[in-house]
Structure 1
Amino acid sequence: MTVKAKLLAYLLDHPGHFHTGPELADHFQVSRNAIWKAVKQLETEGYGIIRHPKDGYALENLNHAIDPNQIRHGLQKVWPELKVYYQESTTSTNDLGRKHAADHPNQPALFISSEQTAGRGRRGRSFYSSLSQGLYFSLVMTPPSGANNELVASMTIASASAYAETLSSYLSDDVMIKWVNDLFYQGKKVVGILTEATFDMESQTISHLVLGIGSNLAGDFAKENAENQTVAGTLFGPQLPGTFNTNDLITNFVIKFKSYYDDLSSLAFLDYYRSHLLGKNQWVNYTENHKNYRGKILDVTDLGHLSIETPEGKVRILVSGEVSFSSQQFADQ
């Protein structure tokens, strides 16, 4: 851990309190010059630090740009073993997550990026990742102890509930959930979620998961095709609010998701998911095993499957891996 990272953690633990250079140097067993350099680094990164000739240094304002140290500090009591990494641009955070899972199978990690050059969604579809203010991150984890494969599969549902609930606290309206893995805000698709699992053939269980989330925070789609302009939207309009801290958003989501993860069998995430299910009681078109169907959305089962009423009045249960819905029919609801 660098002097800068240690100093930031210490200042975050003591917000508004002043600490002299000699006091900090003695605490971290480094020179006063090392403390001065660390303070300069934090200021360059966007942290507001008050300097007083007698009292020393105090943290006044947080850096709103993505900072793994700030996120790691916010999660230290909830998920202390979680590693946090940031790259300004990458092919796909899920790719980073899958490599990490192969190299470090028991180490949970969070990979974050502001741009993806090869993002993807379900069934290998590309995910729009060049928005001026996008956010892309992937959580790498092993399944909760004792969870069977069907329960583990519900973690996509759990993540959608956790992220929709977290986002709604920053916005004027609720974020809605299109089954199974898209989030809509004010009638536009703003978030895509992709969960990729590794299956252990010997034990016949899921050994680890990579949960990827792509968010359209702010910007516009002027250069996109007409279909994307109709469906896609942003959470905050053309620009992020000046007070918005991306680190807080990520931290608050992980805290909420971890609460569901730790008690997955209780299915506590289902109530929120069901109450924010997009298109409930709406007739929609969908594709299942390359065939086209029509049905009315009824609800989500305890296993996270979708119950549909057919035109003949019968109820069918749809499984996410076999079914796809066009987002167009949910836009502007």
Structure 2
Amino acid sequence: MQIYEYRKVTSTQDLAKKYLEEKNNKTAAFIAQEQTAGYGKRGRSFYSPAKTGIYLSIALPNFKIDLNYAGLLTLAIGISVVPVLKKQFPANDFQLKWVNDIYLNDRKIAGILTEKTKFGLIVGIGINITTTSFPSSISDHVGNITQSDVDNNQISRKLVKAIIQATKTYQNAKFLDNYRELSYLKNKKVTLKVGRKHITGRVVTIDNQGRLVIACQNTLRRYSSGEVIKVELNK
């Protein structure tokens, strides 16, 4: 596997897409110190200032998603990332917010993005390691991990290895027990946006297909996609 490292790019996702479009047939990772146009789910901007975070994407040529287990892929990647962070920052209790965010102390510190193209799969992750200053539009719900100096490059390489392994084993749902334990949403009242609909209820669990199970109006509803746009913190 080839690892490409950059000081400044528009987006590591863009580099990975171009790599796949050129019909390369080997897995490759793209790591940058800064992104000028980093993005996450639904194309939202991901703030990526120089040298304060981890910004990387992995290109997996000709990757075929097992449709029977498609809902588990992003969850498996998330649960593979947490042990890498926990080993580096053992005092912190990282949690997973369905479906693609990592939280610490009630603030988002990382986001995962999986994008399928006709040439393969791209997995991207952005992590706020030491970032302290954020745009006002996101400053109320994002945070960082530490103020201490760490080797971002070393952590990035460990993440690449863990993520690639997760893409090979995501069909094995045994990891879901661990995911549930680390769930940021469990037992919280949330509002889920699915298309133009908003569903409000209390999160019960994540089922064996990776769906979010919400108790709403005395019934259990299961959702394979959507975005949790509001979380009421337990007091």
Normalised to the residue count of structure 2, the TM-score between the two structures is 0.90
Structure 1 CA distance, aligned partners of 2:135 and 2:79?
29
User: How do 1:82-161 residues align onto structure 2 when only pairs under 5 Å count?
Assistant: 82-130=1-49, 133-142=52-61, 148-161=66-79
User: Is 1:314 matched up with 2:219?
Assistant: yes
Q: Name segments (4+ residues, structure 1) moved above 6 Å.
A: 330-333
- Aligned counterpart, 2:161: 255
Q: Distance in 1 between matches of 2:28 and 2:50?
A: 25
Contact 2:56 2:124 in 1 (8 A): yes
Partner of 1:233: 143
Corresponding residue to 2:135 among 197, 203, 224: 224
Q: Partner of 2:121 in structure 1?
A: 209
Provide the secondary structure at the position in 2 that maps to 1:228.
coil
Q: Give the letter aligned to residue 229 of structure 1.
A: S
Give the count of matched residue pairs: 234
The within-5 A match list for 1:1-333 is 82-130=1-49, 133-142=52-61, 148-171=66-89, 172-199=91-118, 207-221=119-133, 224-225=135-136, 227-237=137-147, 240-241=148-149, 244-310=150-216, 312-320=217-225, 323-326=226-229, 329=231
Preserved CA contact (<8 Å) 1:189 1:331? no
Deviation at 1:87, TM superposition (A): 1.0
The residue identity in structure 2 corresponding to 1:316 is R
Separation in 2, partners of 1:132, 1:109: 22
> What percentage of residue pairs aligned between the two structures are identical?
28
Secondary structure of 1:168's counterpart equals helix
Structure 1 position 134, deviation (Å):
1.6
CA distance in 2 between partners of 1:188 and 1:126 (Å):
17
CA distance in 1, matches of 2:160, 2:59: 12
Q: Is the 8 A contact 1:192 1:214 kept in 2?
A: yes
Aligned equivalents of 2:234 and 2:189: distance in 1?
15
C-alpha distance in structure 2 between counterparts of 1:104 and 1:292, whole Å: 40
Higher helix content, 1 or 2: 1
String of CA shifts for 1:107-130, please: whole Å, max 9, x gaps: 210000111111111111111112
Greater strand content: 2
RMSD (CA atoms):
2.3
Instruction: Pick closer, same or farther for the CA change 1:186–1:264 going to 2, 3 Å.
Output: same
Q: Deviations over 1:86-141 (max 9, x none)?
A: 11111110010011011134221000011111111111111111265121000111
The structure, 1 or 2, with the larger RCO (C-alpha pairs under 8 Å, 6+ apart) is: 2
CA offset digits 1:165-196 (Å, max 9, x no partner): 21112221221011000101122110011111
Q: How has the CA–CA distance of structure 1 residues 268 and 245 changed in structure 2, closer, same or farther, with 3 Å as cutoff?
A: farther
Counterpart Cα distance in 2 of 1:152 and 1:191: 22
Q: Output the amino acid matched with 2:109.
A: V
Q: Who wins on radius of gyration, i.e. which is larger?
A: 1
3-state secondary structure, aligned to 1:267: coil
Q: Is the 8 A contact 1:297 1:308 kept in 2?
A: yes
Unaligned residue ranges in structure 1 (runs of 5+): 1-81, 200-206
| Counterpart Cα distance in 1 of 2:144 and 2:233 | 13
